[in-house]
Amino acid sequence: MTTLAEVSREGILLAAGGRALLLQLAHPAIGRGVARHSDFAGDPLGRLHGTLAYVYAIAAGTPGEVAAMRRIVNRAHAPVRGPGYSAMDPELQLWVAATLYDSAIGMYTRVFGEPTDAEALYRSYAVLGGALQMPAELWPADRAAFGRYWDAQLARLAVDDEVRAVERTLLGGATLPVPLRPLLPGVRAVTAALLPGRVREEFRMAWSDRDQARVERRLAVASAAYRRLPLVVRSAPQRHYLRRVAALARR
């Protein structure tokens, strides 16, 4: 059986991080919260570090590390509230967990094929929201139920100019360290290729079938090369973040 810990340790899942993020921002309540209460666009690496530390801790950390990350995330979420939105809202945490699951499994399947016992793996992902305020029963019961939930949510996503400005700042790279900025065109292209078409349209991304085919070819080459890497290399990001989490838990 493929486990959450086995999937989450694969560093190539980071390639789907932009997809998960923009799907989250496309939820009107989450988009408002980020635009009005977060320095996410100004400090994208800080948010990335926090998200990865949380996911790795939940998937493979000790009970003490999980508890430490829960405290940190809840402290960060507490002030993010306003008319019609709150970062502590279980329904919004469900959507965030859903985007992480769908993006991670999509990338894992692209590289390694369908995971074994995909239903059990799916159920294990409930812990990403359940470790916060999301009741376990809010996670759709099985993958068929998740598919219905996912399609219904996609139909409700809507992006306004305030959230588009966050996306432009984020993927424009102006707030990233200078050495990382040359990576942004590739990140933007992969993110656009992995997004559902309707969400690309909401963010007004210029995209064509030719663009899609070009990125698909590059992803296929990258996936084949990645599979040949030893696990110690593929799991390096997980080990790095678990060391960070362990240090936080000792404080």
Residue 14 has what pLDDT? 95
Residue 93 has what pLDDT? 95
Residue 163 has what pLDDT? 92
Bridge partners (DSSP) of residue 81 are: 86
Task: Determine the Cα angle at 174 with ends 171 and 176, to 5°.
Answer: 80
Residue 249 has what pLDDT? 87
Eight-class DSSP state of 205: -
| Mean pLDDT calculated for residue range 122-139 | 94
CB 47 within 8 A of CB 40: yes
Task: Please say if the pLDDT value at position 48 is more than 80.
Answer: no
Residue 95 has what pLDDT? 96
Q: Percentage of the chain with pLDDT > 70?
A: 97
Structure confidence by residue, pLDDT tens digits, 166-184: 888 888 777 777 887 888 8
pTM over 0.85: yes
Better pLDDT: 80 or 249 = 249
Structure confidence by residue, pLDDT tens digits, 183-239: 889 999 999 999 999 999 999 999 999 999 999 999 999 999 999 999 999 999 999
Which amino acid, residue 249?
Answer: A
Measured CA to CA, the distance from residue 220 to residue 229 in angstroms comes to 15
Helix, strand, coil in percent for the chain, rounding step 5? 75, 0, 25
Residue 40 has what pLDDT? 63
Residue 46 has what pLDDT? 73
Place of tokens 């692209």: 110
Q: Percentage of the chain with pLDDT > 90?
A: 73
Bridge partners (DSSP) of residue 82 are: 85
Q: What is the mean pLDDT of the chain?
A: 92
Eight-class DSSP state of 137: G
Radius of gyration of the chain (CA): 17
Residue 79 has what pLDDT? 81
Burial (Cβ within 10 Å: 0-12, 13-18, ≥19) of residue 69: buried
Task: Please say if the pLDDT value at position 78 is more than 70.
Answer: yes
Residue 41 has what pLDDT? 61
Residue 87 has what pLDDT? 82
